[in-house]
Structure 1
């Protein structure tokens, strides 16, 4: 992966007519002997894929967030139609600006909002709940038996009498704390959503979120507004994420400017810098076009991938520019220089980009569609870089070349290899000391101490969300402020964990089943973090007491079937949320204080233990439904996938390194710095309060896949010099002289491309930016410091021949045994 180095130096040919155009590999001849055709094909393909990309939308799906293969999720999906409002939902709270909710102006506004929300696409209208919907009912025991009806009086007209009736019905319905705030200053509309709208299409969360924002702006904005509106739920969260991502296009431009500035500061050549940027942007166009062509869409998680593709493309393009500039600086014609660079860098560059692809593709093992689509999108993006950066850049540079000043300046790196160091060159000479035993031992001891301390800290790394609200957004975001208001004013949170009891038809009527439901209800209520529970057993208890003049001693489950049946019939006729119409599925709901990992783990363990002890063929106890149930399953899948993902990515990268270096010792030298960075990154996550979840799980894999590039750049050159007969110290010094600065350049460019994310309004993007910046920089430092230190102990055997005084002697003698990607260069030297 090196830039130009003399041990495999080729003849300086200033006139392309003196160059053998049939030399090189078959692939090289096909590419460079048909340059015009290739460029025209690229332009046509860019136009076609650009047109495809223009129709690409940013969207999201609730189902894509579900771990589809997990038994808990399969239980939910198989019984989804029988569960009422326990899937995707939105909660809207309407607060009275002045006074409480019992005034005609507030109730008029609430009625209008309720009606507008009812008509929105995707709303599961029969199960929408508010004090204005008929499904919310009150019941009362009177001398004549049970009485009941909708909370909203049938003759409601806004008069003081009907408002007072509404107040009484709210108290009868026991909805204070759930649909009505504890202080009576606001009320809630619970809006369950269907997976498909009336036209059979997935619900457009962005459109739904915009509709809710429009309702909010019309009713709750301005000095004369009588209400305030608060909205939470998955659909609103996704809508806010998409809106936020549209704003972070500025960060994309900033990242591009920074990357281009870094590359230009190194090359001082405008034409080649613009070319590298253009080819990287072309890769993004191809990526987005292919994603659209394959029928996929971008979502808030994969939306960040194009940022990475540009950063990776620019950094890899710098390697091609460096080699071509050095050849041109020696007097080689730009076409010949481009072919020389292609020979040296294509296979090694492909290895590095394949390692990047592996870092993304290994995410496919995670059984969450949104992560699999991210993996696919990213793999496509990095995959097309193999063509745009490894092939198109050399071809284009064969036409436009580089400025003479840039070419002459590029030789300064090699010319200072044996000169007295000064300025920043002192840093590079300082790095050479790490090939000596004393410095190597010291650096490895420091690395070991950091690794042990980082590993001890990483043991505290948690799975899932560690904060209330939506951790994907900033704490002061509108969504999290809305969530904080709702949490503080309502006794029941929006985090609902549901356990299903499945029986044959009418099976929930039996005394035995009701007793098991009651026991499960009690078991979940004992779990820390559960605010309260609700189930069919509780409903039967209430109805039973009502049959006997409301006496508390009858608030029980009778073993007399003739007493049970009327209670179940009442529950069915009044559309209880705890059972379906066939009385074959009953749910036990646990309302949680939050959706933190520890809370969800406790509920899952309690429910699973109960199911193992009490489940049977006649009474299946199935986990899990509700939004907290989905979060719990996602945590389980992420926990299982985390270490497995790391194992696979390290195994794949190790295999690629083994093919490239042909030395298992070199593989260890390349991988150990990556392992240290992975451990320290997990420790950093603990320090920053970031848990492993859908948004952060890909980061470590990406850091490994992209981070191995540094070792490939550096070690491939170092090993060639060692196999030429140089010592480890001399080989590393010469590798630094030719590629050390480019390795640093790549690290800084990649880090600069993502560090701006730290200021994003989207918190999960900021978290990813901080972690990726940390990993890119530490991987670079690990390559520059730990690779020579490890080489001192593990790779001295690679210096097989007697040391050679200088590289010109090597060039004059027989060419050394090269790495696989140098064979063509050696054959033509």
Structure 2
């Protein structure tokens, strides 16, 4: 393209129809963008932060449907908060402690969102004791109805606790704390809106703090509290977002040394985030602890594409081209490559929508919306704005005049030496090294685990208050918070039949033998205990009698003592296995045993269905994540292959672009193994995100390289020019994004720290693969003379032919400086 110093000498009707539409109506484009910013900015300010329990689970999976269809019959086996109230100065039979426990219990009972009918504690009448005396059955609430803090009433409470069998469940083994079990509703009964977990968590804290007294310490676990803590930690996420943006700004300025273009680039990148947040609110979405990272991802992708546009304009301005003409030249050169890269990102993120977990589907859709926003803000708005603002001539001159910038000359010489990787010796060594690294990474990735690998909540640090509370409850209670519940469905009023009880008892016994199972609580076990009680506690009667009359009598007593052991219709019975941890191996072991048992014993009379309880739901989630992990990668790479082939029109070029991405994905999984990070809801999208961003590097580099090779330029020269035109910016963006996200490693939210480490690794390796492995692979797959073998390919046009025309235009007789600029 010729150098045009005066915009009046430029043919404004040249270029494509879309280019003329944009640049011949620049004021209209800017006004439309301003109006869109005002409108979407208003809606972005109204975006709320919340989470949903059901959105974190694969709600359409058949096993989860079993739980959702019977949710009302299974109180306390889904979304439940557990509050352990500890007496630090004695045991639970201290009147002062009991008074404080009552105040906390009554206050929590009134918090909106609590399912009050199934709330349990020593002060709730639903918690009962039973015994068999010579006069018959005797029982009542564990807390004596006439309790008055006197020694006699405290002694009565002590006897009732012993008779109720709540030691290790509602009362700690050391008698120093007791539990308040708080099932939650998914909606706020006052408004009908989804329960605001952040507000619930804050209200819970305020309520407990208002009633708490000296000598009493409270420990809280459960999904509602976990999400509340995560959303409180989102303030830290915003801080790290600001730090990442600041680092990106400084590095971009270090590269350009142009204040105006740097500010413009970062501002429009942030503008894309504002548009995304506004569109999310219009679409009815909210920010949750997982999708909060989507805005930064859109900022990062936008920064990558914007830097390429700014770099192209800066090079044209340095050659003497007017800023308006330079903006149009850059638009012509890079619009199609940038559009293809962004569409590849959209497809890559959209692939995640096949995963049967609503929160991942929504994150994928939100990211795809954000990438569509970038098509306007980065591919159109940045060139239009730079056509007005331009770049500093001094900064532009630094990019082409080595005599004025000796340090930059050395850097450019270093970049120029990358063409050595197109030589056989360097290419062979590079391919061999990457092959060894790839094989080693693949072997390591075979050990990647699915699910959580640590106790407690892996989303938070081990030192977090939530995980310390979880550790306390696990250590002091015989039954952990990891419940795996099997849903047993029978005909109405048939749950207590002898045959069904025996089959249920066999399953409970089978689960009890599995490693990782602490104990199993089931209706048959309760009936055994009650039956023995009917015969003076004789151990010989610890059985399920064939006499249906005895069974019915025991069932009547059991349903009074433990009303949640079955539903009122005696058609749904939970068999609850309490697990020692929620590691993937433990959950898989239990789930496999339940599924195998069900296949063998399911009939029209009785069905054994997985699964409910926190551990049961997590087991199904792990199952979905495991099956989706590989299929998502295959679909993602399939989409990338198709789009790259459309762009390059060469299967050889597709392989060159794809191999570095595959190696990076394999090494990412190997890194997860080394760091003890499992594949789960929080980390499953990372590989797709890394591939979506990494493919941009290959598209920009290869599109320039192939455009020149098809015009007859040698591979070494074509790669050298592509590096000088787009490769340096690829390196800059790779380091910029990695430097930004690596700061997440210090986040108090562990899954954000994990994502930061993994994304930083993938950004760096994708960049290294693009600038080192692409030329090495090109030596073997895209050698000199390849395009000359086909006249059709020789005449093929592409989005970057203009680079060759620019080279020819600049080859006219000129002074030495102009020739040096042309060489670059």
Q: Same fold (TM over 0.5)?
A: yes
- The secondary structure found in structure 2 opposite 1:11 is coil
Is 2:676 the counterpart of 1:698? Answer: no
2:76 maps to what in 1? 85
Is 2:158 the counterpart of 1:170? Answer: no
CA contact (8 A) 1:219 1:227 kept: no
Query: Structure 1 residues 380, 355: closer, same or farther in 2, change over 3 A?
Result: same
Alpha-carbon distance, 1:216 to partner: 3.9
Alpha-carbon distance, 1:819 to partner: 5.0
1:617 maps to what in 2? 604
CA contact (8 A) 2:59 2:356 kept: yes
Query: Structure 1 residues 742, 131: closer, same or farther in 2, change over 3 A?
Result: same
1:820 maps to what in 2? 798
- The secondary structure found in structure 1 opposite 2:129 is strand
1:181 maps to what in 2? 172
1:5 maps to what in 2? none
CA contact (8 A) 2:398 2:404 kept: no
Q: State how far apart, in whole Å, the 2-side matches of 1:791 and 1:305 are.
A: 34
Is 2:272 the counterpart of 1:278? Answer: no
1:464 maps to what in 2? 451
Deviations 1:610-643 (A, max 9, x none): 1011111221111101111110000000000000
Q: State how far apart, in whole Å, the 2-side matches of 1:385 and 1:798 are.
A: 37
- Work out which of the residue numbers 212, 218, 229 in structure 2 matches 1:229: 218
Q: State how far apart, in whole Å, the 1-side matches of 2:363 and 2:274 are.
A: 16
Query: Structure 1 residues 360, 413: closer, same or farther in 2, change over 3 A?
Result: farther
Alpha-carbon distance, 1:343 to partner: 0.7
2:383 maps to what in 1? 394
Alpha-carbon distance, 1:379 to partner: 1.2
Q: State how far apart, in whole Å, the 1-side matches of 2:504 and 2:765 are.
A: 54
1:313 maps to what in 2? 302
2:516 maps to what in 1? 529
Deviations 1:539-571 (A, max 9, x none): 111111122121110111111111111222223
CA contact (8 A) 2:559 2:565 kept: no
2:781 maps to what in 1? 794
Deviations 1:152-176 (A, max 9, x none): 0010111111111111111111111
1:808 maps to what in 2? none
Is 2:749 the counterpart of 1:762? Answer: yes
Is 2:201 the counterpart of 1:209? Answer: yes
Alpha-carbon distance, 1:431 to partner: 2.1
Greater mean deviation of Cα atoms: 299-308 or 247-256: 247-256
* Equivalence map 1:384-533=2 (5 Å): 384-412=373-401, 423-533=410-520
Q: State how far apart, in whole Å, the 2-side matches of 1:100 and 1:412 are.
A: 80
CA contact (8 A) 2:707 2:801 kept: no
- Work out which of the residue numbers 346, 356, 362 in structure 2 matches 1:367: 356
Alpha-carbon distance, 1:82 to partner: 1.1
Query: Structure 1 residues 161, 730: closer, same or farther in 2, change over 3 A?
Result: same
Alpha-carbon distance, 1:195 to partner: 1.8
Deviations 1:63-84 (A, max 9, x none): 1111022110011111111112
2:230 maps to what in 1? 241
Alpha-carbon distance, 1:752 to partner: 2.1
Q: State how far apart, in whole Å, the 1-side matches of 2:241 and 2:534 are.
A: 67
Q: State how far apart, in whole Å, the 1-side matches of 2:436 and 2:102 are.
A: 64
- The secondary structure found in structure 2 opposite 1:556 is coil
2:590 maps to what in 1? 603
Is 2:204 the counterpart of 1:195? Answer: no
* Equivalence map 1:3-152=2 (5 Å): 10-152=1-143
Q: State how far apart, in whole Å, the 1-side matches of 2:768 and 2:260 are.
A: 30
CA contact (8 A) 1:714 1:736 kept: yes
- Work out which of the residue numbers 254, 258, 273 in structure 1 matches 2:247: 258
Alpha-carbon distance, 1:738 to partner: 2.0
Is 2:339 the counterpart of 1:347? Answer: no
Alpha-carbon distance, 1:317 to partner: 0.8
Query: Structure 1 residues 315, 414: closer, same or farther in 2, change over 3 A?
Result: farther
Greater mean deviation of Cα atoms: 687-696 or 483-492: 483-492
Query: Structure 1 residues 574, 181: closer, same or farther in 2, change over 3 A?
Result: closer
Alpha-carbon distance, 1:426 to partner: 4.7
Q: State how far apart, in whole Å, the 1-side matches of 2:772 and 2:595 are.
A: 49
Greater mean deviation of Cα atoms: 402-411 or 530-539: 402-411
* Equivalence map 1:731-742=2 (5 Å): 731-742=718-729
Q: State how far apart, in whole Å, the 2-side matches of 1:289 and 1:795 are.
A: 45
Q: State how far apart, in whole Å, the 1-side matches of 2:394 and 2:138 are.
A: 93
Alpha-carbon distance, 1:420 to partner: 12
- The secondary structure found in structure 2 opposite 1:175 is coil
Alpha-carbon distance, 1:413 to partner: 7.9
1:561 maps to what in 2? 548
- Work out which of the residue numbers 643, 663, 679 in structure 2 matches 1:676: 663
TM-score, reference length from structure 2? 0.95
1:383 maps to what in 2? 372
Is 2:713 the counterpart of 1:726? Answer: yes
Is 2:326 the counterpart of 1:325? Answer: no
Q: State how far apart, in whole Å, the 2-side matches of 1:502 and 1:351 are.
A: 53
- The secondary structure found in structure 1 opposite 2:799 is helix
Q: State how far apart, in whole Å, the 1-side matches of 2:316 and 2:421 are.
A: 30
Q: State how far apart, in whole Å, the 2-side matches of 1:579 and 1:191 are.
A: 19
Alpha-carbon distance, 1:429 to partner: 3.9
Greater mean deviation of Cα atoms: 815-824 or 192-201: 815-824
- The secondary structure found in structure 1 opposite 2:563 is coil
- The secondary structure found in structure 1 opposite 2:233 is helix
CA contact (8 A) 1:121 1:198 kept: yes
2:815 maps to what in 1? none
Deviations 1:78-124 (A, max 9, x none): 11111121110000011112111111111111100000111111111
CA contact (8 A) 1:720 1:817 kept: no
Q: State how far apart, in whole Å, the 2-side matches of 1:721 and 1:824 are.
A: 9
1:161 maps to what in 2? 152
CA contact (8 A) 1:726 1:801 kept: no
Alpha-carbon distance, 1:797 to partner: 5.4
2:821 maps to what in 1? none
Query: Structure 1 residues 347, 318: closer, same or farther in 2, change over 3 A?
Result: same
- The secondary structure found in structure 1 opposite 2:695 is helix
Q: State how far apart, in whole Å, the 1-side matches of 2:403 and 2:765 are.
A: 26
Query: Structure 1 residues 366, 451: closer, same or farther in 2, change over 3 A?
Result: same
Q: State how far apart, in whole Å, the 2-side matches of 1:825 and 1:318 are.
A: 18
1:807 maps to what in 2? none
Query: Structure 1 residues 558, 421: closer, same or farther in 2, change over 3 A?
Result: same
Deviations 1:557-603 (A, max 9, x none): 11111111122222334452221000011111000001110110010
Unaligned runs of 5+ in 1: 1-9, 803-814
CA contact (8 A) 2:314 2:396 kept: yes
Alpha-carbon distance, 1:737 to partner: 2.2
Q: State how far apart, in whole Å, the 2-side matches of 1:530 and 1:580 are.
A: 25
Unaligned runs of 5+ in 2: 810-824
CA contact (8 A) 2:50 2:286 kept: yes
Alpha-carbon distance, 1:799 to partner: 4.7
- The secondary structure found in structure 1 opposite 2:557 is helix
CA contact (8 A) 2:531 2:542 kept: yes
Query: Structure 1 residues 291, 420: closer, same or farther in 2, change over 3 A?
Result: closer
Q: State how far apart, in whole Å, the 2-side matches of 1:797 and 1:326 are.
A: 27
CA contact (8 A) 2:130 2:561 kept: no
- The secondary structure found in structure 1 opposite 2:495 is helix
- Work out which of the residue numbers 630, 646, 651 in structure 2 matches 1:664: 651
Alpha-carbon distance, 1:522 to partner: 0.5
1:812 maps to what in 2? none
- The secondary structure found in structure 2 opposite 1:467 is coil
TM-score, reference length from structure 1? 0.94
